[in-house]
Amino acid sequence: MKARVHVTLKPGVLDPQGAAVRHSLGSLGFEGVEKVRQGKVIELELAETDKDKATKTVTDMCEKLLANTVIENYSVEIL
């Protein structure tokens, strides 16, 4: 079973990488981009076959390692 985790910064948390991407896009002629927020996608291949158990396991992974829950939000998608 596959899982996909999307991790993004919480609103209000400064995103210097996003700001750098926005600036670079402007330098390349892509105008009108007012804000960029950068995140990460983590794909996992799991041995688990039960969707509910997989969701719980991946959520535990996020809480313990994959996301910094103080400054990041995450969502879990079981594929």
Q: What is the pLDDT of residues 3-55, one digit of tens each?
A: 999 999 999 999 999 999 999 999 999 999 999 999 999 999 999 999 999 99
Domain enclosing residue 72, as ranges = 2-78
| Residues 64 and 5: beta-carbon distance below 8 Å | no
Band (61; pLDDT cuts 50, 70, 90) = very high
Q: How far apart are CA 15 and CA 56, in angstroms?
A: 29
CATH number at residue 24: 3.30.1280.10
Torsion, CA 25, CA 28, CA 32, CA 34, rounded to 10? 20
pTM for the model: 0.86
**Amino acid 18: pLDDT:** 96
Number of structural domains the chain divides into: 1
